[in-house]
Structure 1
């Protein structure tokens, strides 16, 4: 039996598209400490496929090559958030902003047990930086979530 490579340990691997993917690889290295594992480039330099490791997770990246895929700047909105589980989201937030990301949300304690911050990168992708603070059962998370949305008493 053939096993998938360890970099694909998770069943879902994000694959994002960015015009100037080579610039994005350099940016993600500065902003998030990414390490590029491989790159397949077209003769004109566009990246057909690249793989990065960010916080022990693989992210695939490339220049859009058809009408099927676009990037958030072209679409005018982001259709997915990329979540990074980190030990110090305030530190990663500062690093990302210094590299050129726009802060969307400062570090904020959330009902689901994490402290959450978020940034939008120059390519339009939203990165959610999560530092886990508390393990919360699904039932407690649901209760807290309803209370946070005004649908219940958080102390009940």
Structure 2
């Protein structure tokens, strides 16, 4: 286990395990089902990290992004080839939130939403930049974004 480990609440944790196997080449580490068959705990390994997951238990305050109507959290996944990983996740049923693109900070980066409402950002580092280069590029990207908004009005 690493110092920080995501623990995802899913409406359908068993199905989420199967999705993560297809989408992210996850390896299932185990499941613990309650008497009603809902998963009290499950775990998969994606790359060098463990992701824990469980079914919703609203009576205990454990609710999924679907029940909450969204999520403010994105699980960030660094991979050797963002294009391949992104395409595999979409083919497995993920929805594209932000298409892959070469980003000003030096990563190829995009965001998907899994069928359970969790957001995953997928990235591959493609070039090294100094802090100053990133800062300048960020300012340019923000200015371009503002220009695009103004032109759309």
Length-normalised TM-score, structure 2: 0.85
Q: CA deviation at 1:136?
A: 2.7
The one-character-per-residue Cα deviations of 1:82-141 (angstroms, maximum 9, x if unpaired) are 111011111111111111111222220111110012211111111111011012333432
Q: Secondary structure of 1:87's match?
A: coil
Match of residue 48 from structure 2: 56
Where structure 2 has 5 or more consecutive residues not aligned to the other structure, the ranges are 145-153
Partner of 2:150: none
User: Mapping of 1:5-154 within 5 angstroms?
Assistant: 8-9=1-2, 11-66=3-58, 67-150=60-143
Q: C-alpha separation between the residues in 2 aligned to 1:88 and 1:55?
A: 13
**How much does 1:147 deviate?**
2.1
Cα drift, residue 146 of structure 1: 2.1
Pair 1:63–1:113, CA change in 2 (3 A): same
Greater fraction of residues in helix = 2
Q: How many residues align?
A: 143
SS of residue paired to 2:143: coil
In the superposition, the TM-score normalised over structure 1's length comes to 0.84
The CA deviation string for residues 21-48 of structure 1, in whole angstroms up to 9 with x for no partner, is 0111011111111111122211222111
CA–CA separation in structure 1 for the residues paired with 2:86 and 2:19: 14
Matches of 1:106 and 1:91, distance apart in 2: 13
Moved over 6 A (4+): none
